[in-house]
Amino acid sequence: MIACVAPASPLPSLLLTVSHISKQFGPTTALRDAGFTVREGEVLGVIGPNGSGKSTLLACAAGLVRADAGSVRRDEREIDLAQIRESVFLLPDGITPWAEHRVRDVVETWRCLQGRSADDARRRLHEVALLPLTGRLVRELSKGERKRLLIAVALLATQPVLLLDEPFDGLDLRQLRDVAALLRAESRTGRAIVLSLHQLGDAERTCDRLALLDVGRIVAEGSADELRARAGMPHAPLEEVFLALT
């Protein structure tokens, strides 16, 4: 009898490849030959302590900061700045735009700029539990409410790759779990999502793969279990794995 072996499922397409990024700010080396890949439908976590270069790496990947060296590729082809901005949306950390405008006006303006429908905007506001607050000024929102507004804005963007810098900062435990589930659901539509995080527990619960960044360089990349295997610590908490690999 001849056994029939089902063919292996093909890997989802690579949406973004960020390679060999280096960046110097005066005497300070922010990034050294850093990069990552992210596939269609994947959530990637760029993990590292404060000051490790996470925000700079995402800004270089989005074309907002000019790297001293390196490249950004879409579908295996190197792309220029205009093409990067068509492919990638970056939500920076620690910003409060449109502070003197009401939540509903911010979302309405943004959804029009993105060509989204009013139903899309309402759905995103519902997903981040902000429908009751649409009449508030942005400056009146709490830190967690502002973060959820910015996540709604990011999800209304049309680019296939979303880069979110510290998306869980300011969220309480319930909000964090809800937003993490929302991002996981969004990835299942085929989008690629890259999160910069410093809390390893949040990263392991949310991300398919992790890229460990330490003093400006990627020291390891893979699933949590792959990183544990690489460190020879199959049952260790991810914090211990990070320390062992860095």
Model confidence, pTM: 0.92
**In the chain, domain spans:** 14-245
Give, for all 246 residues of the chain, the pLDDT tens digit: 455 555 555 678 889 999 999 999 999 999 999 999 999 999 999 999 888 999 999 999 999 999 999 999 998 899 999 999 999 999 999 888 899 999 999 999 999 999 999 999 999 999 999 999 999 999 999 999 999 999 999 999 999 999 999 999 999 999 999 999 999 999 999 999 999 998 888 898 899 999 999 999 999 999 999 999 999 999 999 999 999 998
Q: With beta carbons less than 8 A apart as the criterion, state whether 167 and 144 touch.
A: no
72 token code pair: 């950004």
Please give the CATH superfamily to which domain 14-245 belongs. P-loop containing nucleotide triphosphate hydrolases (3.40.50.300)
């296939």: which residue's tokens? 160
Q: Cite the DSSP H helix spans in the chain.
A: 54-61, 81-87, 103-114, 118-127, 143-156, 173-187, 200-206, 224-231, 238-245
116 token code pair: 């989204």
Instruction: Please give the DSSP secondary-structure letter assigned to residue 198.
Output: S
Q: With beta carbons less than 8 A apart as the criterion, state whether 65 and 59 touch.
A: yes
Instruction: Report the C-alpha gap between 202 and 180 in whole angstroms.
Output: 8
Q: How many beta carbons lie within 10 A of that of residue 234, not counting itself?
A: 9
Nearest to 134 by CA among 159, 165, 109: 109
